[in-house]
Structure 1
């Protein structure tokens, strides 16, 4: 893609908006170097990674920590004999710590929902380097004593000399009575040797070597002769310490070289996280998101905004859309009405999408899989190159024409201007025709009447007009499709102060020329503005209804959950009262049956309260054995087995469970299917409170755990309206079967129980009938 495309679309300014959200300078440099992907599959992979990052980031608010650049360190390692200094190793250790924290958080992501994040963080960790740096570097930024035996030993001796020096000086000064001549503490260090800070007028009091004076000259630093030998030993030890530290640095550098690939992957991981963080922060600030990019995707940028205008608060959302079979958008209308902004917004949004960046557009926006963008924009005349506006445009389109294909977006602003209008319009139409013949895509802004008429009549081209307020003649910065707009040059000239006498003469010349169509176009503009306002009001009302429906749905879920929780608590309280002998077995059964009846009546009442379609209302004469109906109380489908004419009851079988229900609680299976499609969220949540199946497998469990699980299971089955369940306990020694039977014998909800037939499991399974 030509560099002038980035320049004309001000892409570098947009990248700077992203870069300011980076936490590191190398991350910001990586953002500023973003360019479109060469391969479409790489672009799709990047967009999927961004979508997963945005979803994951929205849940845990992850932010990568600040880290230093390692580019210089990696470049230094190319020198085979180079040894990294302490500052470089400390920087590497700090970066490794940041990467370790980020990797651990990302590794906890859900594998099914965020596979790309797990793939991103699954690089080989440089464990040896990490462990060695952690052991050898202290929090103060120095090498630890424990980094090597040699370093530990020599530092112990240095500390010993330090203590001996302090003791000797303290003893000498106290014995000689010279403490009052000291300017500071007993001993300090100058030129890596222990010295005594004396007042300058007392320097002759101690025999020794003067090393230095303070800036004021009031203090001299004297090395007493009795410390010379110790200081000489100290210098030898300091040399040994430096050698031991150098050996540690060489060892650590060797490990870094051994694990260079892992360190490079770690650094690339951090840079990717920083870039993704910048994209996510930009998306949150500018209401941006990834757009769909496919070969057969339509150009459909809904409510798209220019990010540079958003940063100044001047952005107005517009729709840039082409219908199926259309490949060109021709925008007309008045000067300063926003035509060029529309084209720049289109080009910039397309360029951002091709770079894998989030675009400030509504959900569901899409663009075709373009591979390059050609931009001819503005007055490109050049005195140095002897190019007029017209010749500059011709020069650029001539150079780019041979490379234009079906994956090219061409943007032309006022192409053909700067020459005779009739010839310029003819040339512009010919260029548009030729580009469409190559199956390329176009965005064109024009004032040529011929090109406006061409846009309305040409197959594959869509016309649009920028709108103006019918009263004030001020631009609204909105597009009206399938119509053209007047240039309104006289109104713009009046707005910018041109004398009225000149404008009157211009109007007379227009009338004489017979080309004043402004009244007609003004009427079209007014109608388009009215239609745009109506659409805006309708969209606003639709959003309100959607929000209201969402609130009702949430309220329904809350109330349903509260009802089920209350029923569970009541049933558990009844069981506790029975177990504590506060009520009889008969009373417990009666209360549980009463609760089930209340639940069924409540469900039936709610179902009856909902308006039913005439086709969904069942009549007694319509029901025949074998029909599939929906039982509203359970929300399940079942097959009709028997009919009770006198009581008007229907016996239906639901997965092996047969129940008698009233006619008003039944509906056609088609209604069930519709209900599930509309309330799939409610049905999924309801499953949480009922048993997953009509059988419970207790094999392999301890007796106490098995009985606790059985009690909970039967509670759920009772609340769900089940009348029969199966308990699998296995044969074995028969101990678990006896415990289960003993529990069932005294449990109030159980009406009866018996061993299963041999073909169903025999004495390894018990059939339980519930009240």
Structure 2
């Protein structure tokens, strides 16, 4: 396609809108590179695929937001022996999870959506590798014990060594003789070794190695001599752990290398699927339809897509045709009447259809597929190239004439303008005649009467006009095909205060014949307009009914297939269960018959087991709080014994726990700890749940939340360090660090400190409803 035409028709602006409808970065990147296709067969296939996407989106959307661009990762994997880190492996796994999601989703609609199903069938899964990687890492990328048996063994030794050194240090710390030497009552880590905080004035009397000192200099962190061997053993275990982790990463990388090409293919298919769905999502925003490919273009109530997406602008639909017996359309009318926007609408909708994008138009719209589209719209004046407006237009027109043929669409704005009206209009007629001989489809706008006459006389040309309201002196932005436009210049001049005598003199100069012809043209235009509206309304109703029938038929088929599948699975499960109960019942009866004595002893227990299995298949009873009232989603509760008022957001599987929300804090609580409140009870004056106070302590006396708002970086890091030191004796301890968003300096400093801290198992940003980027959640190693 011609780059200049893509630019003046604002095709790239439309692609930006399309990219915004994609869920993933690869899909968005593909959307920005999309080009119209000149091949009709390919266009038909693309539009059919987009039609399936529209049908799918009516039922459910497919979330592809987890798809990531793995090109760089797969390139690194190309080198033999290369080892990927946990982050890279998790990125590859994320794409594989998306493959599983789309395959499960589209499996239900295989019969109704054959194109999308075929696209997904080309995606490959690697179940064993995916399960291995999926169970081996935490969300923060920390490798877990179940990544491999050797890693689990090494970590057991590591925990044993850690417990031993902690136990010895703890016993030493609690001795009476150590009371005056120890600064604080905790054991901590410095330089990877467990140490005790010692007062500096006693460090010479304390037998040990100074590993570090506090920023204030008031505390020395000393490793007692008796702990040196224990710490050495612990260090050796850590080295073994690192080696085993590297070995597992190397194995995972090697397995991924074997299927690297398939993973790359998956990325391409996921990006293409996201692009197809993005076309559907954009089509829904535009209230668009899939046009029927045809030998001529027939737009019905077409609207400019960028105006549709702009909420501040009213978009008036236009209906017109080009092609077939009429390959030239001449649009005339007053300025600001909508001629240029009509020209752009024709061009941009043509490019959209040939890109497989739904167009904002009514059912019954047909689009011709062109191999080339040329457009000359706007002022092409160039001072740098010493080109006037007319010269610049002629330069573009010359290129168009050199390349145009019967398979080309040409759009020319203000043909013949920028020079002497007589010469300009004559040149315009000659240009239309030349394009007409080639069979080129051309749409032009103009003010020249000579071009109106040409469109009336030429068998392959038609007139069209923009409709103007002479009473309000405002354009209606509608297009009327079949009649040339009227200028309304004298009426507008009179309405705007020009002297009546001057208006009368102008009418004399025009002659009575010209005035009567203008009035007759107006009455004829009104009659044609009434007939066109009635015909268009009937055609729209018929097309919409047919489209509704098609959509209903597809949805009914998909729903029927899904229902049959569910019923078949339920029948199979019920049949298997009944068959098993029958077999076991026969075994019990046979036992009673063969050995009445021993059979009766086990009879009640077997009956109870069978009854228990039957009860498990029944729906669970309603969850009940200690107050005797059922716990329901949306209900107000008090979390005991904390006394926190909260709202129930979900009942968790198993029927024993619920998820509750108090202010910005979301937590899980046993049903036995929830006390249902009356309506309005426990509601704060502001109507918002009040969170626990900052610094609230858990059962172990450690804070569950550390508020660092207003702290300097140095003070904040020292506070975090002290809390983490105290927490070493509390395995699995979790801490919320409130640092706020601000400039981000405090958050970055805390994150950098936590990343290298051996006491930390994992950390991450809190959920949006619990503080988001202003809060970091930390979990310590066990």
TM-score (norm 2): 0.64
Q: What whole-Å deviation, never above 9, does each CA across 1:311-343 have from its counterpart, x for those lacking one?
A: 224211111214741111111001000000000
Q: Could you say which residue in structure 2 is the equivalent of 1:622?
A: none
Q: Tell me by how many angstroms 1:80 deviates.
A: 4.0
Q: Tell me by how many angstroms 1:15 deviates.
A: 1.3
Q: Could you say which residue in structure 2 is the equivalent of 1:106?
A: 106
Q: Could you say which residue in structure 1 is the equivalent of 2:529?
A: 532
Q: What whole-Å deviation, never above 9, does each CA across 1:288-319 have from its counterpart, x for those lacking one?
A: 1221224x2x2111111011111224211111
Q: Could you say which residue in structure 2 is the equivalent of 1:351?
A: 351
Q: What whole-Å deviation, never above 9, does each CA across 1:249-289 have from its counterpart, x for those lacking one?
A: 22222222211122122212321222122222212121112
SS of the equivalent of 2:121 reads coil
Instruction: State whether structure 2 residue 31 is matched by structure 1 residue 31.
Output: yes
Q: Could you say which residue in structure 2 is the equivalent of 1:336?
A: 336
Q: Tell me by how many angstroms 1:509 deviates.
A: 6.4
Q: Which runs of 5+ in 2 are unaligned?
A: 550-555, 561-782
Q: Trace 1:472-621 onto structure 2 (pairs within 5 A).
A: 472-488=472-488, 500=498, 512=509, 517=514, 520-521=517-518, 524-525=521-522, 527-529=524-526, 531-532=528-529, 535-536=532-533
Q: Could you say which residue in structure 2 is the equivalent of 1:311?
A: 309
Q: Tell me by how many angstroms 1:94 deviates.
A: 1.9
Q: Could you say which residue in structure 1 is the equivalent of 2:70?
A: 70
8 Å contact kept, 1:31–1:275: yes
Instruction: State whether structure 2 residue 122 is matched by structure 1 residue 123.
Output: yes
C-alpha distance 412-548 of structure 1, shift in aligned 2 (>3 A):
closer
Q: Tell me by how many angstroms 1:138 deviates.
A: 3.8
8 Å contact kept, 1:301–1:366: yes
Q: What whole-Å deviation, never above 9, does each CA across 1:51-83 have from its counterpart, x for those lacking one?
A: 122223323444434332223223333444432
C-alpha distance 185-84 of structure 1, shift in aligned 2 (>3 A):
farther
Q: Could you say which residue in structure 2 is the equivalent of 1:433?
A: 433
8 Å contact kept, 2:363–2:543: no
C-alpha distance 324-491 of structure 1, shift in aligned 2 (>3 A):
same
Q: Trace 1:46-65 onto structure 2 (pairs within 5 A).
A: 46-65=46-65
8 Å contact kept, 1:18–1:278: yes
8 Å contact kept, 1:467–1:528: no
SS of the equivalent of 1:299 reads strand
SS of the equivalent of 1:121 reads helix
Q: What whole-Å deviation, never above 9, does each CA across 1:106-140 have from its counterpart, x for those lacking one?
A: 122132x3211221111252415324323433445
Q: Could you say which residue in structure 2 is the equivalent of 1:629?
A: none
8 Å contact kept, 2:328–2:462: yes
TM-score (norm 1): 0.65
Report the number of matched residues: 548
Q: Could you say which residue in structure 1 is the equivalent of 2:731?
A: none
C-alpha distance 223-435 of structure 1, shift in aligned 2 (>3 A):
farther
Q: Tell me by how many angstroms 1:478 deviates.
A: 0.5
C-alpha distance 233-525 of structure 1, shift in aligned 2 (>3 A):
farther
Q: Tell me by how many angstroms 1:465 deviates.
A: 0.3
C-alpha distance 541-282 of structure 1, shift in aligned 2 (>3 A):
same
SS of the equivalent of 2:486 reads coil
C-alpha distance 50-267 of structure 1, shift in aligned 2 (>3 A):
same
User: How far, CA to CA, are the matches of 1:8 and 1:419 in structure 2?
Assistant: 22
User: How far, CA to CA, are the matches of 1:20 and 1:387 in structure 2?
Assistant: 38
8 Å contact kept, 2:382–2:388: yes
Instruction: State whether structure 2 residue 183 is matched by structure 1 residue 186.
Output: no
8 Å contact kept, 2:123–2:269: no
User: How far, CA to CA, are the matches of 2:540 and 2:42 in structure 1?
Assistant: 36
C-alpha distance 187-536 of structure 1, shift in aligned 2 (>3 A):
farther
C-alpha distance 544-132 of structure 1, shift in aligned 2 (>3 A):
closer
Instruction: State whether structure 2 residue 283 is matched by structure 1 residue 299.
Output: no
Q: Could you say which residue in structure 1 is the equivalent of 2:5?
A: 5
Instruction: State whether structure 2 residue 372 is matched by structure 1 residue 375.
Output: no
User: How far, CA to CA, are the matches of 1:34 and 1:288 in structure 2?
Assistant: 19
8 Å contact kept, 1:183–1:219: yes
8 Å contact kept, 1:470–1:526: no
User: How far, CA to CA, are the matches of 1:65 and 1:25 in structure 2?
Assistant: 8
Q: What whole-Å deviation, never above 9, does each CA across 1:380-417 have from its counterpart, x for those lacking one?
A: 01010111111111111222322212221100001221
User: How far, CA to CA, are the matches of 1:61 and 1:394 in structure 2?
Assistant: 49
User: How far, CA to CA, are the matches of 1:16 and 1:494 in structure 2?
Assistant: 46
Q: Tell me by how many angstroms 1:6 deviates.
A: 1.4
Q: Could you say which residue in structure 2 is the equivalent of 1:42?
A: 42
Deviates more, 1:172-181 or 1:78-87: 172-181
C-alpha distance 157-538 of structure 1, shift in aligned 2 (>3 A):
same
Q: Trace 1:456-475 onto structure 2 (pairs within 5 A).
A: 456-475=456-475
Instruction: State whether structure 2 residue 92 is matched by structure 1 residue 92.
Output: yes
8 Å contact kept, 1:352–1:359: yes
8 Å contact kept, 1:199–1:220: yes
Q: Could you say which residue in structure 1 is the equivalent of 2:447?
A: 447
Q: Trace 1:39-438 onto structure 2 (pairs within 5 A).
A: 39-111=39-111, 113-127=112-126, 128-178=128-178, 186-198=186-198, 206-294=206-294, 296=295, 298-312=296-310, 313-322=313-322, 324-438=324-438
8 Å contact kept, 2:15–2:31: yes
8 Å contact kept, 1:129–1:259: no
Q: Tell me by how many angstroms 1:92 deviates.
A: 1.5
User: How far, CA to CA, are the matches of 1:150 and 1:367 in structure 2?
Assistant: 65
User: How far, CA to CA, are the matches of 2:303 and 2:321 in structure 1?
Assistant: 14
Q: Could you say which residue in structure 1 is the equivalent of 2:612?
A: none
Q: Trace 1:643-662 onto structure 2 (pairs within 5 A).
A: none
Deviates more, 1:93-102 or 1:515-524: 515-524
C-alpha distance 532-146 of structure 1, shift in aligned 2 (>3 A):
same
User: How far, CA to CA, are the matches of 1:524 and 1:299 in structure 2?
Assistant: 27
C-alpha distance 240-317 of structure 1, shift in aligned 2 (>3 A):
same
User: How far, CA to CA, are the matches of 1:526 and 1:191 in structure 2?
Assistant: 95
User: How far, CA to CA, are the matches of 1:182 and 1:91 in structure 2?
Assistant: 47
Q: Which runs of 5+ in 1 are unaligned?
A: 554-680, 686-771
C-alpha distance 199-490 of structure 1, shift in aligned 2 (>3 A):
farther
C-alpha distance 93-414 of structure 1, shift in aligned 2 (>3 A):
same
8 Å contact kept, 1:23–1:274: yes
Q: Tell me by how many angstroms 1:443 deviates.
A: 1.0
C-alpha distance 197-370 of structure 1, shift in aligned 2 (>3 A):
farther
User: How far, CA to CA, are the matches of 1:550 and 1:362 in structure 2?
Assistant: 11
SS of the equivalent of 2:411 reads strand
Deviates more, 1:147-156 or 1:159-168: 147-156
SS of the equivalent of 1:290 reads coil
Q: What whole-Å deviation, never above 9, does each CA across 1:627-676 have from its counterpart, x for those lacking one?
A: xxxxxxxxxxxxxxxxxxxxxxxxxxxxxxxxxxxxxxxxxxxxxxxxxx
8 Å contact kept, 1:283–1:289: yes
Q: Could you say which residue in structure 2 is the equivalent of 1:606?
A: none
Q: CA RMSD in A?
A: 3.4
SS of the equivalent of 1:478 reads strand
C-alpha distance 223-520 of structure 1, shift in aligned 2 (>3 A):
farther
User: How far, CA to CA, are the matches of 1:263 and 1:218 in structure 2?
Assistant: 56
Deviates more, 1:373-382 or 1:317-326: 317-326
